[in-house]
Amino acid sequence: MLTNLTADERNAFLGIARRRVFERGDIVFHRHDPADALHLIRRGRFAVRIVTPLGYTATLATLVGGETFGELALLGERRRTASVVALERGETLCVHQPAFAALCRRHPTVTDALARALGARIDQLSAQLVEALYVPAERRVLRRVADLATAYRAGDGVVEVPLTQEEVGGLAGAARGTVNRVLKDAEARGEVRVRRGGVLVLDQDAIRRRGGL
Does residue 2 lie within any of the structural domains?
Answer: no
Does residue 1 lie within any of the structural domains?
Answer: no
Do 13 and 48 belong together in one domain? yes
What is the per-residue pLDDT across 60-118, written as a single tens digit (0 to 9) for each?
888 999 899 999 898 877 899 999 999 999 999 999 999 999 999 999 888 888 888 88
d(CA 2, CA 213) in angstroms, rounded, equals 28
Do 150 and 110 belong together in one domain? no
Do 144 and 59 belong together in one domain? no
Does residue 100 lie within any of the structural domains?
Answer: yes
Q: Which of 105, 132, 159 is the last residue of a domain?
A: 132
Does residue 159 lie within any of the structural domains?
Answer: yes
Q: Which of 132, 166, 194 is the last residue of a domain?
A: 132
d(CA 180, CA 213) in angstroms, rounded, equals 21
Q: How many CB atoms lie within 10 A of CB 29?
A: 19
Do 124 and 152 belong together in one domain? no
Do 159 and 172 belong together in one domain? yes
Return the closest-CA partner of residue 200 out of 191, 210, 209.
191
Do 72 and 165 belong together in one domain? no
pLDDT at 1: 78
Do 116 and 161 belong together in one domain? no
121 pLDDT higher than 90: no
Measured CA distances, 5 to 1, 105, 115, 116, 122 (Å) = 8, 15, 13, 11, 21
- What domain count does the chain have? 2
User: Which pLDDT band holds residue 2 (cuts at 50, 70, 90)?
Assistant: confident
Do 112 and 156 belong together in one domain? no
DSSP 3-state assignment of 34? strand
Give residue 168's domain range.
136-210
Q: Which of 132, 153, 180 is the last residue of a domain?
A: 132
Q: Calculate helix-pair angle for 97-106, 110-134, nearest 10 degrees.
A: 120
Whole-number percent of the chain with pLDDT over 90: 58
